[in-house]
A and B are shown apart, each in its own frame.
Chain A
Amino acid sequence: MFDSLSDRLQGVFAKLRGQGKLTEKDVDAAMREIRMVLLEADVNYKVVKQFVEHVKERAVGEGVTKSVTPAQQVVKIVYDEMVDILGGTQQALKFASHPPSVIMLVGLQGSGKTTAAAKLAVMLRRQGRDPMLVAADIYRPAAVEQLQTLGGQIDVPVAYYRHKSAVAIVEEALREATRTGRDVVILDTAGRLHIDEDMMQELVDIKSSVPPGESLLVVDAMTGQDAVNVALAFLDKVDFDGIILTKMDGDARGGAALSMKSVTGKPIKLASVGEKVNDLEVFHPDRVASRILGMGDIVTLVEKAEDTMTEERARKLEEKLRKHRFDFDDFLEQMEQLRSMGGLSKVLEMVPGMGNVAGTYGLDLDDRRMKRIEAIIQSMTREERQNPHVLNASRRRRVAAGSGTSTQDVNQLVKQFAQMQKLLKQFSGKGGEMGMMKRLFPF
């Protein structure tokens, strides 16, 4: 989601880098552009003002104009300040020493609380916990059914008691959790306007009846300037410990993300980056800052890969890459893993300088296309999979017929595969990822 923000900032930096020496005027001009870029990304206007002032002050204080590498220094200052407003280092969820821990989700209508609750349950279960969901939204039509359906899909119990108040439901659910040995209870509360006194009071009541170890404000990443007003109102009336940003898979430029921490002082802890139940990620401010500045997010990529790839398979793959013997069989296997990592475009996004590669090379694979590709590869003979260059026209026609696709589809895949092989060679070349990073980003 930070792509277009990243693109715009890269443009500003490129202009700076084009100049050997920077005058104060150049810095000012760059700052004005950054102001514009940030405002268009919906960063709160007060935060923008502060941000630009800080960067300017530091640029002057650190004598950027006299430096031998002025542009790099400006980028560094912008990066530092960005990490700073995003909230420094990552903050983990807190758990009670005596289970069950209670996590309460609050937010406006439509911010994505119910979906986030289910995703959080999946994430916690992956970490070896035993979560339970509580349907405390007794107002929105079909809200309880929605959570129950989601609970069924992910196989996590959903507590709900008909004809009870939200407070009573939560209290009863907590007893139930203790009885059944669940160690985390996730409360899905009703969406409410921050200015609705009665509804805000309900949250206060829930909080005082079962003090949650963690209250999280759920915020839609597409929210505009009002995001901070909402957050401040929730902070003032019910208080919260952290933020979950949802709908990060859209093309919003992430202004809300940039405003939140500096205005509320509360960290963004989690981010929802897709529609699937395991598309909830821990939010790392430093990594997001480097993603915004186009430096990629190799750490998250490696972690994701570790999650899905066993050591054994990784070693085998590395070996193959080194020998430049990556074939369609490997591709098939990789696709499986890619899919569990969120798809190729998402992976490439995290590689420094690769943010746009997916689009440029037409590697933007959605699920349906992935299935088609699978079918094509599976229709190839073993020889064809290992030596794609034997695929002549007649073989391609056969593969197309066998997989129920067209020859064009097969052609396209073979072409893309060749490109991918080239790409992978670059990675496995000297220096690996770090070398790549340095070549692409000399600062």
Chain B
Amino acid sequence: MAGKGKKKHPKGKPKKRRAKPLREETREQAAGEEVRPKEELEPAPLSEPLPGETEAIELEGPVDGSVGAEAEPPEEEGEEWGRRLRRGMSRSRRAITMPFTRAAARKAITPEFWTEAEDALIAADAGVACSARIVENAKKRIISEGIRDIEGLKDAFRREVVAMLESFGEPPEPPPERPRVIFIAGVNGVGKTTTAAKIGFLLKEKGNKILFAAADTFRAAGIEQMEMWASRVVAPVVSHQAGGDPAAVVYDSIESAKAKSIDTVLVDTAGRLHTKKNLMEELGKMWRVADRQLPGRPEAILVIDATTGQNGVSQARIFGEVLDVSSIALTKMDGSAKGGVVMAIGMELGIPVAYIGVGEGISDLKPFDPEQYATALF
């Protein structure tokens, strides 16, 4: 332990590192990637050369590299849960904090900082267009506010992520009519059944009377899995036989909900690839059955697994053609994936994130908080 010590002053290192980024810089410029900055940077009232130009902006404050890696964001309420979210996301947080630690090592914001920041967001699955937009906006903010320290840089990026997430709107409020019916839909293996159970648990804690509809009649043992979860949540479940018509399960569960004055029916649907036309038609039929039976409109939550890549956008678009997808539940945030695709989805389709899940326990799903997500991200 003593032998290793803490590398507080990696002297000499910055020099060595510098050689490589410089090469990258010339290549990037030769490739003509840096076309935008000029006009964008003109209005910024700075005396020094501007970021994105050939020279760098010097940084102030602590710049020994440890800042980027260690800085703990301020704790808020729900501290324990927030810590777990961050722990999950910090598994490979190095990739996303790398631009900041490098900038700290260089003691300057150099042109490659912006490229690295964009790469970091792409690595978080935010997608090319969305990453570019966040970097662009953060850049404007950093320049106009004259930000010169690592924490300030990070904070600028956090604020951009929050701004982007908030621009997708809020998840819908519960309608006045009863019962409220929420479809839980998504592709195979994203965790629909567990998410249905966990949302049920959350609503039940809030005093809602809930009922599960085991409408995954296709997957071997899909019904059993829903029944097991329902008994953990201690809520009734309506199920038919395996292979039965899922629309009939929806019908029966709504009838049952009306009879028992249930507040919310959670419909656990079978996982299906959005490209399977007949399976999507089946989902559409279930939706129409519910729509006809209800005084109000049913809702749908699309479950997106945090490891999902840009295909998530396609999933959201096509599920959205069949159901009214009003929000997203982002699951499996306890791995090393960042779930950045929800930003790409939101940017294209304007669907907000309602829930975020960080584990297998019944209380590991929580309402989504953009601030908390952004803090955990950077």
Contact = CB atoms under 8 A, between A and B. Distances in A.
A247 interface: yes
B32 interface: yes
B236 interface: no
A367 B276 CA distance: 11
B91 interface: yes
B120 to A, nearest CB: 9
Contact of B336 (A32, A226, A275, A368): A226
A256 B189 contact: no
A28 B220 CA distance: 51
A225 B124 contact: yes
A227 B125 CA distance: 11
Contact of B220 (A140, A145, A233): A145
B31 A32 contact: yes
Interface in A184-202: 193-195
Contact of A367 (B228, B278, B341): B278
Interface in A179-226: 193-195, 220, 222-226
A42 interface: yes
A150 B220 contact: yes
25 contacts: A28-B31, A108-B332, A109-B189, A110-B189, A110-B190, A140-B225, A141-B225, A145-B224, A194-B335, A194-B336, A195-B336, A220-B307, A222-B309, A222-B312, A222-B315, A225-B125, A226-B335, A226-B337, A226-B338, A229-B91, A229-B336, A247-B188, A249-B275, A250-B274, A255-B309
B308 A224 contact: yes
B123 A225 contact: yes
B223 to A, nearest CB: 8
B122 A141 contact: no
A145 B294 CA distance: 35
A366 interface: yes
Contact of B119 (A45, A109, A112, A229): A45
Contact of B187 (A28, A226, A250, A255): A250
Contacts of A249: 273, 275-276
A149 interface: yes
B197 to A, nearest CB: 10
Given A141-B225, A142-B228, A230 B31 contact: no
Interface residues of B, number: 51
B293 interface: no
B122 A45 contact: yes
A225 B309 contact: yes
A381 interface: no
A256 B309 contact: yes
Contact of A149 (B125, B220, B228): B220
Contacts of B274: 250-251
A297 to B, nearest CB: 19
A278 interface: no
Nearest to B334: A193
